[in-house]
Amino acid sequence: MKLHLKIKRFNPEKDKAPWWGEYDVDVEPTDRVLDAIHYVKYYQDGTLNLRRSCAHGVCGSDAMRINGKNALACKLLVQDLGTDHITIEPLLGMRVIKDLVVDMEPFFDHYRSIMPFLVNDEPLPANGRERLQTQEQVDRISEGTKCILCAACTGSCPAFWANGKYVGPSAIVQAHRFIFDTRDRASAQRLGILNERMGVWRCRTAFNCTNVCPKDIPITRQIAEVKNAILSGVIA
Amino acid sequence: MTKFHQFDAVIVGAGGAGLMAALHASKGCNTAVISKLYPTRSHTGAAQGGIAAALNNMGDGDSWEFHMFDTVKGGDYLADQDSAEILAKDAIDAIIELEHMGLPFDRTPDGRIDQRRFGGHTANFGERLVMRSCKAADRTGHMILQTLYQQCIKQKVRFFDEFFMVDLLMNGNTCVGCVAIEIATGEVHVFHSKALMIASGGFGKIFKVTSNAVSLTGDPVAAVYRRGLPLEDMEFFQFHPTGIYKLGILLSEAARGEGSVLINGKGERFMEQYAPSVKDLAPRDLISRSIMSEIRAGRGIDGKDYVYMDFRPETINKFKSGPGGKEVTREHLEKSLPEIIEFVRVYMGIDPMEHPVPIQPTAHYAMGGIPTDNEARVLDANEKVIPGLYSAGECACVSVHGANRLGTNSLVDLVVFGRRGGKEMVEYAKKTDFTALPKNSEAQVVAELESLRNRVRKDPKDGERVSTLRTAMQDTMQLNVSVYRTAESMAKAVADLAELKARYANVKIDDSGKIFNTDLLEAFELGCMLDLAECVARTALARQESRGGHAREDFPNRDDKKWLKHSLIWRNDGASNASLVPHGKYQFGERPVRLGRFEPKERKY
Ligand SMILES: Cc1cc2nc3c(=O)[nH]c(=O)nc-3n(C[C@H](O)[C@H](O)[C@H](O)COP(=O)(O)OP(=O)(O)OC[C@H]3O[C@@H](n4cnc5c(N)ncnc54)[C@H](O)[C@@H]3O)c2cc1C
Ligand code: FES
CATH of the domain at A8: 3.10.20.30
Instruction: Note whether A209 and A126 are same-domain residues.
Output: yes
Instruction: Note whether A161 and A90 are same-domain residues.
Output: no
Q: Is B289 a catalytic residue?
A: no
Give A60→chain B minimum CA distance, Å: 6
**Contact call for B46 and A47, based on CB within 8 A:** no
**With contact defined as beta carbons under 8 Å apart, do A228 and A222 qualify?**
no
CA distance A175 to B411: 26
Which segments of B408-485 does DSSP mark as H helices, in order?
A: 409-431, 443-453, 466-480
* Contact B513/A at CB under 8 A: yes
Instruction: Note whether A133 and A227 are same-domain residues.
Output: yes
* Contact B583/A at CB under 8 A: no
The answer for residues whose C-beta is within 8 angstroms of residue B439's C-beta and 6 or more apart is none
Q: Could you give the number of structural domains in chain A?
A: 2
Mean pLDDT of A38-63: 97
**Segment among B332-341, B367-376, B417-426 with least mean pLDDT:** B332-341
Q: Which of B554, B438, B549 is nearest to B483 (CA)?
A: B549
* Contact B345/A at CB under 8 A: no
3-state secondary structure of B170: strand
Instruction: Note whether A58 and A173 are same-domain residues.
Output: no
Q: Which residues on chain A are in Cβ contact (under 8 Å) with B42?
A: 59
Sign of CA dihedral B425, B428, B429, B433: negative
Whether B178 has a pLDDT exceeding 90, the answer reads yes
Give the pLDDT of residue B460.
87
3-state secondary structure of B175: strand
Classify strands B357-366 and A85-89 as parallel, antiparallel or unpaired.
Answer: unpaired
pLDDT tens digits along B556-586: 999 999 999 999 999 999 888 899 999 999 9
**Contact call for A42 and B465, based on CB within 8 A:** yes
Classify strands B31-35 and B158-161 as parallel, antiparallel or unpaired.
Answer: parallel
Instruction: Name the residue of B411, B416, B532 to mutate for ligand 1: max ligand atoms within 8 A of Cβ.
Output: B411
* Contact B97/A at CB under 8 A: no
Whether B436 has a pLDDT exceeding 90, the answer reads yes
Q: At what angle do helices A168-179 and A187-194 cross, to 10 degrees?
A: 160
* Contact B438/A at CB under 8 A: no
Q: Which of A79, A102, A125 is the last residue of a domain?
A: A102
Give the pLDDT of residue B574.
85
A vs B, Cβ pairs < 8 A, gives: 149
Give the pLDDT of residue B324.
87
Cα angle B1, B5, B11; round to 5: 120
Q: Confidence class of residue B230 from pLDDT cuts 50, 70 and 90? A: very high
Give B154→chain A minimum CA distance, Å: 6
Mean pLDDT of B485-509: 97
Q: Which of B527, B561, B533 is nearest to B547 (CA)?
A: B561
**With contact defined as beta carbons under 8 Å apart, do B223 and B179 qualify?**
no
Q: Look up the domain containing A194 and give its range.
A: 105-232
Instruction: Name the residue of A62, A64, A76, A88 to mutate for ligand 2: max ligand atoms within 8 A of Cβ.
Output: A62
Mean pLDDT of B91-96: 98
Percent of all residues in chain A with a pLDDT value above 70, rounded to a whole number: 100
Instruction: Note whether A216 and A131 are same-domain residues.
Output: yes
**Contact call for B518 and A56, based on CB within 8 A:** no
Which segments of B13-139 does DSSP mark as H helices, in order?
A: 16-25, 64-74, 81-100
Give the pLDDT of residue B575.
85
Average pLDDT, chain A: 97
Q: At what angle do helices B219-226 and B518-542 cross, to 10 degrees?
A: 60
Enumerate residues 181 to 200 of chain B having a beta carbon within 8 A of any beta carbon in chain A: 184
Instruction: Note whether A97 and A112 are same-domain residues.
Output: no
Mean pLDDT of A181-204: 96
* Contact B543/A at CB under 8 A: no
* Contact B469/A at CB under 8 A: no
Instruction: Note whether A52 and A146 are same-domain residues.
Output: no
Instruction: Note whether A109 and A219 are same-domain residues.
Output: yes
Q: What is each CA distance from B384 to B49, B224, B372, B391, B429, in whole angstroms?
A: 36, 15, 10, 14, 19
Looking at the CA of B215, which ligand is closest?
1
Instruction: Name the residue of B410, B412, B419, B524 to mutate for ligand 1: max ligand atoms within 8 A of Cβ.
Output: B410
Task: Determine whether the shortest distance from the Cβ of B410 to ligand 1 is under 6 A.
Answer: yes
Mean pLDDT of A9-18: 97
> Reading across the β-sheet that carries A19-26, which strands appear in turn?
A19-26, A2-9, A85-89, A63-66, A69-72
Q: What is each CA distance from B89 to B65, B157, B262, B409, B417, in whole angstroms?
A: 8, 28, 33, 13, 12
Percent of all residues in chain B with a pLDDT value above 90, rounded to a whole number: 97
Whichever domain contains A204, its CATH number is 1.10.1060.10
Q: At what angle do helices A187-194 and A219-232 cross, to 10 degrees?
A: 100
pLDDT tens digits along A84-130: 999 999 999 999 999 999 999 999 999 999 999 999 999 999 999 99
Instruction: Note whether A115 and A177 are same-domain residues.
Output: yes
Q: Which residues pair with B35 in a beta bridge?
A: B161
Backbone Cα Rg of chain A? 20
CA of B524 to the centre of ligand 1 (A): 20
CA distance A66 to A59: 18
Give the pLDDT of residue B14.
98
Sign of CA dihedral B311, B274, B134, B131: positive
Q: What is the ipTM of this complex?
A: 0.98
Phi, psi of B337 (to 5 degrees): -130, 45
**With contact defined as beta carbons under 8 Å apart, do B90 and B156 qualify?**
no
CA distance B260 to B239: 19
3-state secondary structure of B578: coil
Mean pLDDT of B110-137: 95
Instruction: Note whether A71 and A148 are same-domain residues.
Output: no
Give B106→chain A minimum CA distance, Å: 6
Looking at the CA of B242, which ligand is closest?
1
Question: Chain A: residue nearest B149 by CA?
Answer: A117
Task: Determine whether the shortest distance from the Cβ of B340 to ligand 1 is under 6 A.
Answer: no
Task: Determine whether the shortest distance from the Cβ of A55 to ligand 2 is under 6 A.
Answer: yes
Count of Cβ atoms closer than 10 Å to residue A69 Cβ:
12
* Contact B347/A at CB under 8 A: yes
CA distance A36 to B268: 38
Higher pLDDT, residue B336 or B203: B203
* Contact B113/A at CB under 8 A: yes
Q: Which residues on chain A are in Cβ contact (under 8 Å) with B515?
A: 11-13, 97-98
The secondary element (H helix, E strand) that includes residue B273 is: helix B271-274
Give the pLDDT of residue A236.
80
CA distance B211 to B46: 9
Q: Exposed, middle or buried, A21 (CB in 10 Å: 0-12/13-18/19+)? A: middle
For A46, which of B104, B113, B511 is closest by C-beta distance?
Answer: B511
CA distance B34 to B180: 8
CA distance B530 to B517: 21
Instruction: Note whether A155 and A195 are same-domain residues.
Output: yes
Whether A220 has a pLDDT exceeding 90, the answer reads yes
Give the pLDDT of residue B1.
85
Give the pLDDT of residue A22.
98
Active-site position among B116, B284, B453, B552: B284
Instruction: Note whether A54 and A130 are same-domain residues.
Output: no
Classify strands A85-89 and A2-9 as parallel, antiparallel or unpaired.
Answer: parallel
CB environment B483-492: b (16+ within 10 A), e (fewer): bbbeeebbeb
CA distance A127 to A130: 9
Q: Which of A66, A85, A102 is the last residue of a domain?
A: A102
Task: Determine whether the shortest distance from the Cβ of B201 to ligand 1 is under 6 A.
Answer: yes
Q: Which of B197, B154, B198, B160 is nearest to B181 (CA)?
A: B160
Task: Determine whether the shortest distance from the Cβ of A52 to ligand 2 is under 6 A.
Answer: yes
Q: Which of A55, A87, A102 is the last residue of a domain?
A: A102
Q: Whose CA is nearest to atom 31 of ligand 1?
A: B15
Atom nearest to B214 CA in ligand 2: 1
Task: Determine whether the shortest distance from the Cβ of A151 to ligand 2 is under 6 A.
Answer: no
Residue type, B506: N
Looking at the CA of B405, which ligand is closest?
1
CA of B215 to the centre of ligand 1 (A): 10
Q: What is each CA distance from A6 to A3, B24, B297, in whole angstroms?
A: 10, 47, 47
**Contact call for B102 and A178, based on CB within 8 A:** yes
Q: What is the pTM of this model?
A: 0.97
Q: Exposed, middle or buried, A48 (CB in 10 Å: 0-12/13-18/19+)? A: buried
Looking at the CA of B411, which ligand is closest?
1
